Structure 1
Amino acid sequence: MIVSTLEAARELVREAGLDPEAVTLIINEALDEDLGGRGVLPAGTGAGVDVTSEATIPAEATATGDFVARRPGTIAGMPVVALTLALVLSPAGPFSLTAGVKDGDQVARGDVLLTVTGNTRALLRAERVALNLVTMMSGVATATRAWVSALSGTGTRVRDSRKTIPGLRILQKYAVRVGGGVNHRMSLADAALIKDNHVIAAGGVVEAYRAVRRAFPDITVQVEVTTRDQAVAVVDAGADEVLLDNMSAEEMTEVVRQLKGRARFEASGGLTVEDAAEVAATGVDFVAVGAITHSSPILDVALDLHS
């Protein structure tokens, strides 16, 4: 990948299956925050200026630097890095980005992910936002890949949840896909998930399912259950997917054995990668792991300028 225009960077994002306008909005919000906007600094206190770079670096200076992995893992977010850099560097003059890896690649400590040349002030202004995004996304992809490896050969797939960092859902769920996982619903609007509070409000698990199906006859409906009897009842009612919440391996095995082929089944509730083989052995189609988006450590990456 060699990029030297803003449009080329946008196209990389588009090719990754992301909306360039939506990603640009995320990046611009982060850049604004980093320059003292969004309530970070009181009005009139210098917001909008990188005071350190303005004071120490000539306006026309250029530099070359490498984005370098500080530990091994799975990379996700290279198109987002390219767009972040292009948005900041393109108004400041010519620039070039040359990537040494692509999303989904496994990297080792010291591997160069991308080399960038451009205006030095602009490069340092974009640095932290680009790093924050790629380290977060690569951390999610790395954690997802660990689950995928643990489930290899079982037929069970790891799936995320809506437990994402506010404002960053499309990037985190993209990173799950890069890591080999499967996305659950993207929002409250594209699929139904009937949970305990819905059951209480509707007067029962089957009543809740039927209410959703009447209101939205064409939408996928998943129902959370905690007992075998609830699972049987909602599958008999026609549920597409059943979320087996905090059930033992023995209970899940029995539910799947009895109802296999009539619905898809997902295990959920405090699962860890060490549990993967035992849970997959129950025959569930998915394991739901909110931790891959809400608790994954970053994959450390740094920008090293050439001397």
Structure 2
Amino acid sequence: MTIKNTIPEEMIASQVALALQEDVGQLDLTADLIPIKTQAIATIITREKAILSGQAWCNQVFQQLDPNITIEWFFSDGDRLDENDVLCKLTGSARTLLTGERTAMNFIQTLSATATHVNAYVEEISGLATDILDTRKTIPGLRLAQKYAVLCGGGVNHRIGLYDGILIKENHINAAGSIAAAVEHARQYHAGIDIEVEVENFTELKQALAAQADIILLDNFEPDDLIKAVELNQKQAKLEASGGINLNTVRAIAETGVDRISIGALTKDIKAVDLSMRFL
């Protein structure tokens, strides 16, 4: 699978530089015991099934430590991995391979974990015309990286941050005075940007429809209520279900006919993929 990584290289480089600084500091005291001219070949393998994500971060780790390290990848981001698959082969300074090992694998195992978790939800609703979306509940400093991993898993990105989308929630409504006022202000100040409104009941849903919101987030609606909301909506706005949705409930939610399902757990409730680097 080919997943386009649109994250600027300088941003990936800065994330990696920070990770190396907190791990390596001024010197890897243990790798320093290895003779400086010692060369080595190593592989990174997965000990479990996964969806790969994070190649650019791994590459950047070794690029910053030693540009002479070569990496041969056998899979691409978005590919499905089986237990004991060899992800890549690295060749170069033994010291550098040892120093970069943990940082590189931290990025791959975290982003692959995100992609794998997302893919489980995508597969669970296979055959239905509903998108699985992420949220802003991401690891601090890794927002764009995890958003990219979501794409690797087959999911869809919600707004990246507060700067590229409008989501009017309860406190915004209270501060503005009403749903209608909040939507009207959004149109005045940010024309051309889709306006999403979060609602918690049918009264608010009707108000959001009357205000002609582009997207309506149905917060913690039960499946039966979601079906009623879809009927009431009549395709006027895109409907998004959210709140407490898990792998056991996601298909039933998708079957109600909502357009999209947003799940915070995709990026915050993840289990790192088990990886290992082995010297040959």
**178-187 or 101-110, which deviates more:** 101-110
Residue 223 of structure 1 pairs with residue 197 of structure 2: yes
1:285 to 237, 244, 259: 259
Matched with 1:82 is: 59
Provide the C-alpha distance between the structure 1 equivalents of 2:187 and 2:140, rounded to a whole number of angstroms.
29
Residue 29 of structure 1 pairs with residue 18 of structure 2: yes
Judge conservation of contact 1:78–1:134 (CA < 8 Å) in 2.
yes
Judge conservation of contact 2:38–2:93 (CA < 8 Å) in 1.
yes
* Cα shift at 1:86: 1.9
Residue 275 of structure 1 pairs with residue 249 of structure 2: yes
* Cα shift at 1:67: 0.5
Provide the C-alpha distance between the structure 2 equivalents of 1:277 and 1:223, rounded to a whole number of angstroms.
23
2:107 to 96, 108, 133: 133
TM-score, L = length of structure 2: 0.96
Question: Counterparts of 1:116-155 in structure 2 under 5 Å?
Answer: 116-155=90-129
For structure 2, the 5+ residue unaligned runs are none
Matched with 1:245 is: 219
Runs of 4+ in 1 over 3 A off after TM superposition: none
- Percent of aligned positions with the same letter in both sequences? 34
Matched with 2:167 is: 193
Provide the C-alpha distance between the structure 2 equivalents of 1:185 and 1:107, rounded to a whole number of angstroms.
29
Matched with 1:108 is: 82
From the superposition, tell whether residues 299 and 260 of structure 1 become closer, same or farther in structure 2 (CA, over 3 Å): farther
RMSD after superposition: 1.4
Matched with 2:28 is: 50
How many aligned residue pairs are there? Answer: 279
SS in 2 for 1:51: coil
Provide the C-alpha distance between the structure 2 equivalents of 1:19 and 1:260, rounded to a whole number of angstroms.
40
TM-score, L = length of structure 1: 0.88
Judge conservation of contact 1:89–1:123 (CA < 8 Å) in 2.
no
Provide the C-alpha distance between the structure 1 equivalents of 2:97 and 2:59, rounded to a whole number of angstroms.
12
SS in 1 for 2:30: helix
SS in 2 for 1:145: helix
Provide the C-alpha distance between the structure 1 equivalents of 2:64 and 2:268, rounded to a whole number of angstroms.
28
* Deviation string, structure 1 residues 200-251 (Cα, Å, up to 9, x no partner): 2112222222222221122111100011121121122110100000111111
Amino acid at match of 2:24: L
